[in-house]
Structure 1
Amino acid sequence: MDRLDILAIFVAVAEQGSFIAAARRLNRSPAAVTRAVAELEERLGTRLFNRTTRAVALTDAGTRYLDLGRRALADFEELELSAASEKLEPRGLLSVTAPEMFGRLHVLPIVQAFMRDYPQVSVSMLLLNRIVSYIDEGIDLGIRIAALADSTLQAIQVGHIRRVICASPAYLAAHDAPKTPQDLVGHDAIAISGVRPVIDRWTFGKGAKEITVPINARLIVSTIQAALDAAIAGGGVIRVMSYQSEPLEAEGKLQRLLVGYEPPPLPIHVVHPAGRYLAPKVRLFIDRAVEALRGKFETN
């Protein structure tokens, strides 16, 4: 018997609590199972089971070894699945999450191209401006714009974006453009209630040079698109992500302000629950998303 086979026998005996039951499960003779466990104990130089005429129980060393043995068998199974998956056509439902506007502008085109290339895959997109539970909500992968502290996720950074201050040319024609963050005190601001709980002040700069100023939020809206619409109409100064304002800046509808006072950029990550095996559809989509997003955001 090879070592992996012996390890599988040991795990079966431990889980069944019986040499005979393990033999039945593995379709082996009880004598072969007993010999395999004895060989393993001899090689390790320690007893793994306490045996009586009626029961088999793990020793302390056996309990520790069982955990390691299960991991080793799982790793081997993952290796086989991974090798086999190379031959499989991606198929089934892929669940993706992203912030609402980022997902619409930058993830949806990736999804649509992926579905054209892999017709056996269907996609569910959850576009929300909140943190989701990947396990509870059945999410395969997602995009997060933030520094990550969640150790249950594996992340690949693809770039970064900035938080920027903008106003429309019409608003700036009627109000002097702010030169410093403190100048915002005299301006009308548009705040977004659905993104952050704090809507009465904005923070600029970094570290010891960080500045927090109060804002006069004359208009509070619950969506970013509504805030952008109000800013374009001349309703006041707005703070949004750079990817949200850049198309409007390029069209001349918004103008960026206080560039030298912008806080540190926020990283963009492609994330998925930490695990041992990724289905072909997930692995291939991650590769596609990383390549596409890095091309847009890596040098921003």
Structure 2
Amino acid sequence: MTRAVAALEARLGARLFHRTTRRVQLTDAGDRFLHECRRLLADLAEAEAAAAGTHATPRGRVGVTSSQLFGRGHVGPLLCTLLRRQPLISVHTLFVDRVVNLYEEHMDIAVRLGALAESSLRAVQVGQVRRMVCAAPSYLDAHGVPASPDALAGHACIQFTGQSPGPEWSFDSGRSVRVHSRLTTDSADLAIAAAIAGDGCARLLSYQVAPALASGALVVVLAGFEPPPLPVHVLHHEGRRVSAKVRTVFDHLVEGLRADPALA
């Protein structure tokens, strides 16, 4: 194996691995070469499927990733609906609050909130979500309603790091306000529960608090100072040919999420 890799590196004129006595790691050139090889293998598989007459039939496993709360509440139900319609498709989900590398973690489709980094992935925008400050009526009755972002300095705040990783919250016109966090958490569920319990003002996304707003457990404050909404995109690997299974799941998610009132 070592001789084969060395011969390949000599033929390419590039070093593919960093080697130490304890580990072997891909170089940047090696990482690019790996991605290209995977793309070529995928193209070969698609060509074989087309020749066999099966390309038009959606079948096989499709990996879909999203953030946890959005995945559970909005992506998961759409996938379950699809599975009832497409008996030959199976779906593997990875709902985590981080950006997943589709190549490295063998995912086919991602649903992402926020601005996108430059990549070779094809993206379709399906909606947007607001960044809003919410609090329980009981908290506001006891501490007053903040009239401006600067007034948050006198309030207890709940810091959801998935939305605002630092102690500053951004608002319209690029202004930022440093807040006093009584609770800092990477769990949207905990941040919502704490806000409902009256522990302070929380900065969350509109889809995350939609049920609590509808029930009256939370109310929005500082609505006139909100920053621009965040776009929501569905992404998949770019390529000349997209398999029927990936295309079927991708199109279903795009259609379903565009019809989702939480993303309007």
TM-score computed with the length of structure 2 as normaliser: 0.78
Q: Which residue of 2 aligns with 1:197?
A: 165
Identity of aligned residues (%): 41
Which fold has the larger relative contact order, with Cα–Cα distance below 8 Å and residues 6 or more apart in sequence? 2
Q: Distance in 1 between matches of 2:249 and 2:92?
A: 13
Question: Which of the pair has more CA radius of gyration?
Answer: 1
AA matched with 2:235:
V
Q: Which residue of 1 aligns with 2:24?
A: none
Unpaired segments ≥5 residues, structure 1: 1-70
Deviations 1:20-48 (A, max 9, x none): xxxxxxxxxxxxxxxxxxxxxxxxxxxxx
Q: Which residue of 1 aligns with 2:111?
A: 143
AA matched with 2:134:
C
Q: Is contact 2:55–2:243 with CA below 8 Å preserved after alignment? A: no
Relative to 1, partners in 2 of residues 1:79 and 1:151: Cα closer, same or farther, differing over 3 Å?
farther
Residue in structure 2 matching 1:250, options 208, 214, 217: 214
Residue in structure 1 matching 2:241, options 277, 290, 296: 277
Question: 1:120 offset after TM fit, Å?
Answer: 1.9
Relative to 1, partners in 2 of residues 1:214 and 1:294: Cα closer, same or farther, differing over 3 Å?
same
Q: Which residue of 2 aligns with 1:81?
A: 50
Q: Distance in 1 between matches of 2:211 and 2:54?
A: 40
Question: 1:215 offset after TM fit, Å?
Answer: 0.3
Q: Distance in 1 between matches of 2:111 and 2:187?
A: 19
Unpaired segments ≥5 residues, structure 2: 1-39
Q: Is contact 2:134–2:219 with CA below 8 Å preserved after alignment? A: yes
Q: Which residue of 2 aligns with 1:268?
A: 232
| Range with greater deviation from structure 2 (116-125 or 261-270) | 116-125
Question: 1:196 offset after TM fit, Å?
Answer: 4.4
Question: 1:86 offset after TM fit, Å?
Answer: 5.6
Deviations 1:59-80 (A, max 9, x none): xxxxxxxxxxxx9xx79x8699
Q: Find the residue that maps to 2:192 and give its secondary structure.
A: helix
Deviations 1:156-207 (A, max 9, x none): 1111111110000111110110111001000000012355431x110100xx
Q: Is contact 2:134–2:218 with CA below 8 Å preserved after alignment? A: yes
Q: Is contact 1:190–1:220 with CA below 8 Å preserved after alignment? A: yes
Q: Is contact 1:231–1:237 with CA below 8 Å preserved after alignment? A: yes
Superposition map of 1:120-269 within 5 A: 120-198=88-166, 200-205=167-172, 209-269=173-233
Q: Find the residue that maps to 1:247 and give its secondary structure.
A: helix
Relative to 1, partners in 2 of residues 1:237 and 1:80: Cα closer, same or farther, differing over 3 Å?
same
Question: 1:99 offset after TM fit, Å?
Answer: 0.8
Matched pairs, number: 222
Relative to 1, partners in 2 of residues 1:279 and 1:218: Cα closer, same or farther, differing over 3 Å?
same
Q: Distance in 2 between matches of 1:83 and 1:259?
A: 57
AA matched with 1:106:
H
- When the two chains are superposed, the root-mean-square deviation of aligned CA atoms in Å is 2.3
Relative to 1, partners in 2 of residues 1:106 and 1:121: Cα closer, same or farther, differing over 3 Å?
same
